[in-house]
Copies of this chain bind each other. A is one copy, B any other.
Amino acid sequence: MPKVLIVEDDESMGTALKDGFSYEGYEVVFAGDGVEGLRLAIERAPDLVILDVMLPKMSGFDVCKEIRKTGSAVPVIMLTARGQEIDKVLGLKLGADDYVTKPFGFMELMARVEALLRRASGQTGRAESYTFGDVSVDFKRGEVRRKGKPIEMSAREMRLLQYFVEHRGEVIARDRLLDEVWGYDEAPLTRTVDMHVAKLRKKIESRPADPQFLLTVHGMGYKFNG
């Protein structure tokens, strides 16, 4: 479960947020002023920070700025009272990821929180290029080379290879590949996956019948060891 840091000095608002996020299954860390908020942001390494702008001791803007100074890319949502819209630009400049103006509905806040968490988790592991064995891949250019010689790859083969690279080491079920590489709307048979894996093996393995990188895990799926 994600860990969310809430920094809010207004007692009733703070309690409401705490209870709300606990209820939704989040782990909640709470701070009542800016200094404590900054400390907890560093010590507890939350997955997301909800930050009131008006805070005792240290403003939300400064807390956000200091968090960024530590190099952290944790998503930050700012809470601001109506009439402070002028500060929006300033806030985003300082590294906040989103803005919610009081009064707001809890569902609206939750939606933005989930959007940010999804965005943050999606960033991990998107490779631009990768090398394994005598094969090198440039995903940006869409080129694959083996011993320096270019290999022709179809679009689907490329996406499949990229997915394997981005999830190397994991056992990946055929259904998951269909979801992630083919897409939700399309629904080919799982045997189609086998077919494409076989084609990939012919292109990247020295001995496709005895693969070194793209392994079969009987009864579970495939696994890329690169």
Residues of A near any B CB (own CB < 8 A): 1, 23-26, 115, 118-119, 121-122, 125, 140-142, 154-156, 158, 169-171, 217-220, 223
Given contacts A140-B170, A142-B171, A170-B140, contact A155 B118 (CB under 8 A): no
| Distance, CA A44 to CA B226, complexed state (A) | 28
Q: With a CB–CB cut-off of 8 A, which chain B residues contact A218?
A: 154-155
Contact yes or no, B155 A25, CB < 8 A:
no
Copies of the polypeptide in the assembly? 2
User: Closest residue of chain B to A225, judged by CB?
Assistant: B141
Contact yes or no, A155 B219, CB < 8 A:
yes
Across chains A and B, which 4 residue pairs bring their CB atoms closest together, nearest first?
A155-B219, A25-B122, A142-B171, A155-B220
Residue from B23, B26, B141, B220 in contact with A171 in the complex, judged by beta carbons closer than 8 Å: B141
Q: With a CB–CB cut-off of 8 A, which chain B residues contact A118?
A: 23-25
Q: With a CB–CB cut-off of 8 A, which chain B residues contact A125?
A: 1
**Closest beta carbon of chain B to A123's beta carbon, Å:** 8
User: Closest residue of chain B to A27, judged by CB?
Assistant: B122
Contact yes or no, A140 B23, CB < 8 A:
no
Residue from B26, B119, B155, B170 in contact with A217 in the complex, judged by beta carbons closer than 8 Å: B155
Given contacts A140-B171, A142-B171, A170-B141, contact A156 B219 (CB under 8 A): yes
Q: With a CB–CB cut-off of 8 A, which chain B residues contact A169?
A: 140-141
Given contacts A1-B122, A1-B125, A155-B218, contact A142 B25 (CB under 8 A): no
Q: With a CB–CB cut-off of 8 A, which chain B residues contact A217?
A: 142, 155
User: Closest residue of chain B to A223, judged by CB?
Assistant: B142
Given contacts A141-B171, A170-B140, A170-B141, contact A154 B121 (CB under 8 A): no
| Distance, CA A219 to CA B218, complexed state (A) | 31
Q: With a CB–CB cut-off of 8 A, which chain B residues contact A115?
A: 23
| Distance, CA A220 to CA B1, complexed state (A) | 23
| Distance, CA A95 to CA B140, complexed state (A) | 34
